[in-house]
Amino acid sequence: MTEPTITASGLNLTFRTNDGPVHALRDVNLDIAKGEFVSFIGPSGCGKTTFLRCIAGLETPSDGQLSVNGMTPDEARQARAYGYVFQAAGLYPWRTIGGNIRLPLEIMGFARSDQAERVARVLEMVELSGFEHKYPWQLSGGMQQRASIARALAFDADILLMDEPFGALDEIVRDRLNEQLLELWARTEKTIAFVTHSIPEAVYLSTKIVVMSPRPGRITDVIDSPLPKERPLDIRDSQQFIEVAHRVREGLRAGHVDA
């Protein structure tokens, strides 16, 4: 195992609400190595999105240690350590696809010529070459989400944080995007943290599956996937796949029983 990219130890996060404190995260300990594909799975309220937001520095843990590339989450963000993909594509309707991908590049102050070259490169990565001058409403939901992934890739962050990026899409589109995401991951060797509700999605994509449970949000199981790196879609019918999926399901059920 290489040097961990993301390390969390003893992480706690409590939200103050009108109904008293809510333990969004309790005693979360996790190492994510460089180049891993880690999925976070669990029911609503288990803290998987909150944990991702902590890594991004969008939430501040109440206590515990969290380091990203050896820095605090805030420093890591300043250093453009990660690209974040949200559940909705969130493309600006007044910008073309190319313009949307240029958005982070403009904000971060990349040179104009560099911007054009990067836009072309990431569009090719998500197989949207030729759509640079289209507006978001001219694209399907799946294509929009691919464009939002391209936007997160444009500034060469080596970590990709994805918060249920395919949650709003139908299963056929989702399968195709999962396949493409794996290809992308193999090509770019990025570290990916991926939040999902779907057991097959988590098992198919991940090298490591983190099972979480709610009230308080905590990790109940961490599964290192035995599946090979090459994964055609029909690997989902293999015995190995079914065993991993079973273990994930057991972990989710166990979390429910003692909650």
Partner 1 sequence: MKSLVPVATVIAAIFAIWTLSVVPMNIHLTADLAQRQDIPVTPDTPQARQDVGAFALALRNPDIWGMTYVLDRPNLPSPHQVGAELYTSVFTVEPTSRRSLVYHAWVTLSATLLGFAIGAGAGILLAVGIVYNRAMDKSVMPWAIISQTIPILALAPMVIVIMGSMGIQGLLPKAIISAYLSFFPVVVGMVKGLRSPDAMQLDLLRTYSASGSQGFWKLRLPSSMPYLFASLKIGISASLVGAIVGELPTGARAGFGARMLVGDQYGQPLVTWAALFGAAITAALLVALLSMIERGTLRRMGMGAAA
Q: Which residues make up the interface to partner 1 (CB under 8 A)?
A: 56-58, 77-78, 82-84, 86-88, 90, 92-96, 103-104, 106-108, 135, 137
100 to each of 53, 103, 126, 134, 164, how far by Cα in Å? 22, 5, 14, 11, 20
- C-beta of 135: minimal distance to partner 1 in Å? 4
How far apart are CB 79 and partner 1 at their closest, in Å? 10
H or E stretch at 96 = none
Closest CB to partner 1 among residues 2, 94: 94
Tokens for 196?
């999902």
* Nearest distance, CB of residue 37 and partner 1, angstroms: 20
Spatial neighbors of 176 by CB under 8 A, at least 6 apart, are: 142
86 vs 215, which CB is nearer to partner 1?
A: 86
Cα 235 from chain centroid (whole Å):
22
Beta-bridge partners for 196: 41
DSSP state of 25: E
Cβ proximity to partner 1, 158 vs 175, nearer residue: 158
Instruction: With CA atoms as reference, report the closest residue to 167 among 101, 85, 83.
Output: 85
- Shortest Cβ 152–partner 1 spacing (Å): 9
Minimum CB distance to partner 1 smaller for 163 or for 221: 163
- Nearest-angstrom CA–CA distance, 14 and 88: 26
Of residues 77 and 190, the one with the C-beta less far from partner 1:
77
Q: Report in angstroms how near the CB of residue 243 gets to partner 1 at its nearest.
A: 36
